[in-house]
């Protein structure tokens, strides 16, 4: 598995972003700078990605969380098992080591990236 599930998740989301070529990674955060001086910082957590909009003069001017449950499809281990939304459990996706089909898929990452893109485009 990857060294850091949070960085790996951010990279998968950024890879689906319309701004993917503008992002750079510092530690476990992804940053993008816009022509107007604003920057967006993405941080990955167990159940969400947090996006902060940072102004050079005013610091953080807006912040929004993007919970995985709002963008990822519900998963289940077997047909009669309860469904849940993917989340990171320590160092891996919940049940991801035992059941590969419960991992977020390309469409899940695309939905999340689209939501983040729409948000940060307001501050470009």
Instruction: Classify burial at 83, counting beta carbons within 10 Å of its beta carbon; exposed 0-12, middle 13-18, buried 19 or more.
Output: exposed
Global pTM exceeds 0.85: yes
Q: Per residue in 111-124, pLDDT tens?
A: 999 999 999 999 98
Q: Per residue in 58-108, pLDDT tens?
A: 999 999 999 999 999 998 888 898 888 898 988 888 888 888 888 999 999
Q: Are 108 and 72 in contact (CB under 8 A)?
A: yes
**For the chain, what are the domain ranges?**
5-121
């Amino acid at each position: 598995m990857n060294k850091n599930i949070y960085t790996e998740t951010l990279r998968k989301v950024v890879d689906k972003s319309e701004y993917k070529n503008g992002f750079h990674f510092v530690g476990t955060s992804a940053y993008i700078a816009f022509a107007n001086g604003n920057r967006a910082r993405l941080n990955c957590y167990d159940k969400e990605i947090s996006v902060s909009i940072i102004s050079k003069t005013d610091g953080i001017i807006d912040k929004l969380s993007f919970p995985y449950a709002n963008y990822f499809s519900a998963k289940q281990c077997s047909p009669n098992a309860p469904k849940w939304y993917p989340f990171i459990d320590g160092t891996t996706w919940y049940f991801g080591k035992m059941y590969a089909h419960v991992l977020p898929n390309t469409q899940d990452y695309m939905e999340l990236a689209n939501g983040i893109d729409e948000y940060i485009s307001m501050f470009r």
